[in-house]
Each structure stands twice: as C-alpha cells, then as structure tokens.
Amino acid sequence: MQNTFPHIIIENGVQYHLGTLKGNTIQYDFQKMLIYLDHKGKMLFGNNFKIYEEDEIILFKLCIYFIKDYDYCTKFNIDPNKGILLSGPVGCGKTSLMKLMRHITPHQKSYEVIPARNIVFGFNNIGYKSIEEFGNDGYYCFDDLGIEPMGRHYGKDCNVLGEIMLSRYDLFTKTNVQQLNAKNHIKTHATTNLNAQELENLYGNRVRSRMRQLFNLIAFDEKSLDKRS
C-alpha cells in the first residue's frame, strides 16, 4: 500500500516520522531527519556510514533546501529555485550526501546522480547527442564536476560539461519565464572538489557566470576529513 503521508517514510517495515502534518503543511524536525538519514545511509552505503557532528550544518542546509523551508532558506541565502553545487575536498562525503538526500522527500521529483567523467566517455562514443541528452529537462546531479577529461569525438575536442551547463542554463531561464509559480523549474545539481577560481579556469568565465545562476553553493570546510580512511 502506498504511503500517502510524505513526512512518514517506511523502510523495512519501520516508520520514520520526519515531522508532523499540520493541515497541508509538514513541520519537519531536523533531529528526526538525522535519525532517518543515518539509517538510510547505512542501508545504502554499509554499516560504516555515519553522520559526523561537524557536517550537521551542511546537512541542515541541504535539508531545508530539499524540504523547501523558505524561511530558513532565506536566512541562509539559499534560493529553492536553483540547484545545489556541493563542494569540498576529496573524501568528505559529497557524493554520498547527494545520493542520500534524494530519499527525504519521496513526494518530490528525484534526480539521477551521474559521474561527470561517464558523460564525457559517452560523448567520445556518440558525440554531441550526449550533450543534447543531458542538456534536456531531466533532473541530474553531475558528480565530481571538474575532474572529467576533455571530450574528443572524431578528432574534435569539446568541453562537454561546459556545453551541458550552458544548455541547462538556457533551459533553466526559459522555464523560469514560462512557469511563474516556480514549482517546476529545471534544476541541476553537482558535486565538485574545485573552488570557484578553478572552475572558472576550467570552464571559462561565461560558464562560471551561468553556474552562479544555476546553483546555490554549499561548501564543506576545506579541512574536512577524508571519511574514506
């Protein structure tokens, strides 16, 4: 039987109450969300998964974004209509968190997490069709943005993810104009190890400018531990 209460998530017969339902509004409880995220993380990534206390501010920002808590989003300067660019050093847990956060709002449209380098490999095989595929209205999180190689198809080089960002920006601004209720904007998420200057050096000023319009930047501390060790 389908669960008709999005604030209650059922995993292996266990109910996780992420908050309470008040009329048509869910009042989420962050501590209860952390309990669920810890459990779901262990289901997805194994029993060694844990939520670190120093990362809770990152999780809080991600949670208020995905549940669309507009008051807190305003407080933290997060635009719910943009996507998320989650940055931080290697091994800090960016990919795991973006895979995990998809599960706290089962009533919302989800996104697919795709390694950026795999997209380039696809371009090398089939060419510009791959740019058209990911520059469409699908919901994606491009993982490890910036470490992918340059694309090359029939001897012609292409900055594949840069071109995809430009396409998704055009689509994003088009849907913003057409859908004034802001409920169905085309969103793009990404994770990266690079800082803003490194991204600009790689993709150019034009793409970097578009990325500012596409993304909310949420950044781990540069001294965050490598959790893979």
Give the CB-side neighbour count of residue 155, counting CA atoms within 13 A: 0
pLDDT at 189: 97
Residue 184, domain CATH: 3.40.50.300
- Strands of 188-192's sheet in order across: 112-115, 140-145, 188-192, 83-87, 215-219
The predicted-structure confidence for 135-185, as pLDDT tens digits, reads as follows 887 899 999 999 999 999 988 999 999 999 999 999 888 765 555 444 456
Split at pLDDT 50, 70, 90, the class of 6 is confident
- 213 lies in some domain: yes
What is the reported pLDDT for 38?
96
User: Residue 227: inside a domain, yes or no?
Assistant: no
Evaluate whether residue 225 is within a structural domain.
Answer: no
Q: What percent of the chain has pLDDT over 90?
A: 72
Domain extent at residue 206:
8-219
Whether residue 226 is contained in a domain is answered as: no
To the nearest whole percent, how much of the chain has pLDDT over 70?
93
Q: How confident is the model at residue 224 (pLDDT cuts 50, 70, 90)?
A: confident
Calpha distance 79→134 (Å, rounded): 23
CA distances from 43 to 38, 47, 127, 146 (A): 9, 7, 37, 29
Q: How many domains does the chain have?
A: 1
